[in-house]
Amino acid sequence: MSSEGFLKEMQTIGEKFLLKLQKLPKADPVEIVSFCVVLLFIATVLLLMIIACSCCCYSCCSCDGRPDHRRRKIQVRPIAH
């Protein structure tokens, strides 16, 4: 997908989202609750992705940017008889 197509798609999604928000005060309670559940799900997924990425970056590169060699996995070899 080209960047122009992606931007147009994002603009369309944003317009639909704003239209949904404008109609929300007039909506029935079930629709309001379902909309809130979807928003909560999206926020949870984004938060978990941020936490996962930050933990991964922290374990690979310590705070000063150098790799932490103490966390390297040690390969166990069988004892030869």
pLDDT of the residue at 3: 84
Q: Which of 52, 69, 51, 49 is nearest to 60 (CA)?
A: 69
Cβ pair 24, 35 in contact under 8 A: yes
Sign for the pseudo-dihedral over CA of 31, 36, 39, 41: negative
Q: Can you give the pLDDT of all 81 residues of the chain as single tens digits?
A: 678 899 999 999 999 988 988 888 888 999 889 989 998 999 999 999 998 888 777 666 655 555 555 555 677 778 876
pLDDT of the residue at 24: 84
DSSP category for residue 65: S
Cβ pair 60, 70 in contact under 8 A: no
Is 0.85 topped by the overall pTM? no
Distance CA 13, CA 4 (A): 14
